[in-house]
Amino acid sequence: MALIIVGVVLVIIILWFISAQRKLVAMDENINNAMGQIGVQLSSRWDALTALLDLTKGYADHEYKTISDTIKMRTSINSNSSAAEVNKQENMLTEAMGKIMAVAESYPELKANENYIKTMDSVNEYEKMVRQSRLIYNDSVTKLNRTIRMFPTSIAAGMLHITSRDYLEASEQKADMPDMK
């Protein structure tokens, strides 16, 4: 009889562990997916920024070279990237965008250019998508971090080497970013 009870308890523990593992893996994959989406959208923003840079080429050669150098320093963001890497990319984007905006302010004919306006609209749209993906990422991180801190799932997380993830922080530069229209 005791052997049956031990067997039932063991089966319950194994089933719980499998369930906890599946839940943790699903949460981890949600975070990876959100990070991948951020990477795609940041890449699109960089492409739009490059198009803006090409539009400014004839207006300010020094600024063109400076912004071009910033764009060349970009790295790809993928599902395995860290929050720090994303924050670094966003800071670089914000810095380059600020420089392009300064050029546009100095040259009203550039700011009135139809291609410039369309490209700025694209940049703004990509920014909205990145913002939404950041919210999804941070929400997914909250769920995972909360789950792996709670007993008894913390035991399974420790055994599976699933650790807490960092949040994406809003950059101070972004808070001070001028309106892009």
Provide the CATH number for the domain around residue 130: 1.20.1440.20
Specify if 19 maps to a domain. no
Q: What's the mean pLDDT in 56-85?
A: 79
Specify if 14 maps to a domain. no
Specify if 39 maps to a domain. yes
Lowest mean pLDDT among 22-36, 56-70, 82-96, 135-149: 56-70
| pLDDT tier, 115 (very low <50, low <70, confident <90, very high otherwise) | confident
Contact predicate 144/165, CB 8 Å: yes
Q: Is the peptide bond before 152 cis (omega within 30 degrees of 0)?
A: yes
Q: What's the mean pLDDT in 128-132?
A: 92
Specify if 28 maps to a domain. no
Alpha-carbon distances of 30 from 6, 17, 76, 79, rounded to whole Å: 36, 20, 19, 10
- Reading the block at residue 139, the tokens are 């929400």
Which residues are CB-contacts of 80 (< 8 A; sequence separation ≥ 6)?
A: 32, 35
Predicted local distance difference test score (pLDDT) of residue 171: 61
| pLDDT tier, 50 (very low <50, low <70, confident <90, very high otherwise) | confident
Range of 128's domain?
A: 33-175
Compute the Cα dihedral for 37, 42, 43, 49 and give only its sign.
Answer: positive
Which residues are CB-contacts of 127 (< 8 A; sequence separation ≥ 6)?
A: 45
**pLDDT mean across residues, the chain:** 86
Specify if 180 maps to a domain. no
Asked whether the predicted pLDDT for residue 180 surpasses 60, the reply is no
Asked whether the predicted pLDDT for residue 63 surpasses 90, the reply is no
Specify if 129 maps to a domain. yes
Specify if 115 maps to a domain. yes
Helix ranges restricted to H, 81-113: 83-106, 108-111
Asked whether the predicted pLDDT for residue 168 surpasses 70, the reply is yes
Whole-structure pTM value: 0.78
Predicted local distance difference test score (pLDDT) of residue 172: 57
Contact predicate 165/104, CB 8 Å: no
Q: How many domains does the chain have?
A: 1
Specify if 18 maps to a domain. no
| pLDDT tier, 17 (very low <50, low <70, confident <90, very high otherwise) | very high
